[in-house]
Amino acid sequence: MKPDHAPLAQGELAARYPAIRAATEELAGGLSPEDCALQSMPDASPVKWHLAHTTWFFETFVLERHDAAHRPFDPAFRFLFNSYYNGVGEQYPRPQRGMLSRPGLDEVLRYRVQVDERMRALLAGRTLPTEALGLVELGLHHEQQHQELILTDAKHLLSLNPLAPAWRAGMPKRAAAAALLWIAHPGGEAGIGHDGAGFAFDNELPRHRVLLEPFELASRPASNAEFLAFIEDGGYRRPELWLSEGWTHAQAQHWEAPLYWRRREGAWMEFTLQGLQPLDLHASVTHVSHFEADAFARWSGARLPTEFELEVAGGAFADVWQWTSSSYGPYPGYRSTPGAVGEYNGKFMSNQYVLRGGSLDTPPGHLRPSYRNFFPSSARWQFSGVRLARDPS
């Protein structure tokens, strides 16, 4: 949260809390206990861990500090479900989260029930100080981030199963791609960062001015059909299109297509949350790395937009997160939130790129034009795509 933010009123937080917590459990409801326990790679986490960690956040940062009658559900959970907060204590190694067969899913769900009961009582009781309300609001936005992570991590896990199981059948298909248009922007001086109304993470501040050259932005993200043309033109075999590190990485990992594309009897298929499906040529291409997005942009005679260009364009909301050419770093005058929660964003401002715009699986109401997502250049398991930009001819 931003250091000077006035949080939502206690009554509104009391209403939002159960709704957001229930939404997390609804997502996990499409999975078996076995699904929830497994970890498919070091960068992903078991769904059971997500359920526990988001609960740990409220217990550690809210109840421990502001509930005089608080007693820990299990003292070992403080270590097991701490993600990266060194100010709170040691953490169980992230690559080994899938080894935590105990506690079981049932116990983690009991943990959620107990913490939720205490949080509801806290929010319904005495007037809480501004600090406590700010932590509750931060915790709810943190939980919404993990809701999308539950889907990305579960999708990666299920994609490794030769049965190609669906997370949940009957979900809406992504919208067909409209004709691509180029929208001209005049550039000039622009205000960047959160405008002060409502919640924001500290990495969206402080608001500042940047000078933009005139640019043109594609009206939508690139489609599967457009990315398929890149593949068929040898895009993954042409080093001149790639950044050096990206080419080395693509060769070492034997990349030939976006992460979940599969060839079956000469036809392209794509693993989705509904299982293995024929490739939808009209849908936005997704699960590409920054390296792939950059190579595709170069092949297209265009470039990746900066995060500032997308923000000036209204946040460029779409059905996939959009890679930018902007390194993830602090804004001029940036200061992190005091205390352990200050580790939330600032310490990751190295060797990562910014994504903007959100995805079809980002929780409703969680986005704003100044929102900054970030991942390493090689990350592919997130719902990441590409929107092209270019300089005026």
What would the pLDDT profile of 225-246 be if each residue is shown by its tens digit? 999 999 999 999 999 999 999 9
How many separate domains does the chain show? 2
Does residue 32 have a pLDDT over 60?
yes
The single-letter code of the amino acid at 337 is T
Of residues 33 and 5, which shows the higher confidence score?
Answer: 33
**Residue 279 domain-assigned?**
yes
- pLDDT, averaged across the chain: 95
Does residue 106 have a pLDDT over 90?
yes
374 lies in the same domain as 227 = yes
> How far is C-alpha 374 from the chain's CA centre?
8
120 lies in the same domain as 186 = no
Does residue 4 have a pLDDT over 60?
no
143 lies in the same domain as 240 = no
What would the pLDDT profile of 276-326 be if each residue is shown by its tens digit? 999 999 999 999 999 999 999 999 999 999 999 999 999 999 999 999 999
Poorest-confidence range of 108-122, 280-294, 306-320, 333-347?
333-347
Write the CATH number for 280.
Answer: 3.90.1580.10
**Domain containing residue 32:** 10-159
187 lies in the same domain as 116 = no
213 lies in the same domain as 313 = yes
Cα R_g (the chain), whole angstroms = 22
**Residue 4 domain-assigned?**
no
What string of DSSP letters covers 76-107? THHHHT--S-TTT-----GGGGGG---S-HHH
131 lies in the same domain as 257 = no
136 lies in the same domain as 200 = no
Query: pTM for this one?
Result: 0.95
pLDDT score for 174: 61
203 lies in the same domain as 350 = yes
Of residues 177 and 109, which shows the higher confidence score?
Answer: 109
- The H-or-E segment that residue 270 falls in is strand 267-272
Q: What is the mean pLDDT of residues 65-75?
A: 96
Q: Of 92, 124, 159, which one is at a domain's C-terminal end?
A: 159
**Residue 1 domain-assigned?**
no
208 lies in the same domain as 299 = yes
CB 55 within 8 A of CB 83: no
**Residue 164 domain-assigned?**
no
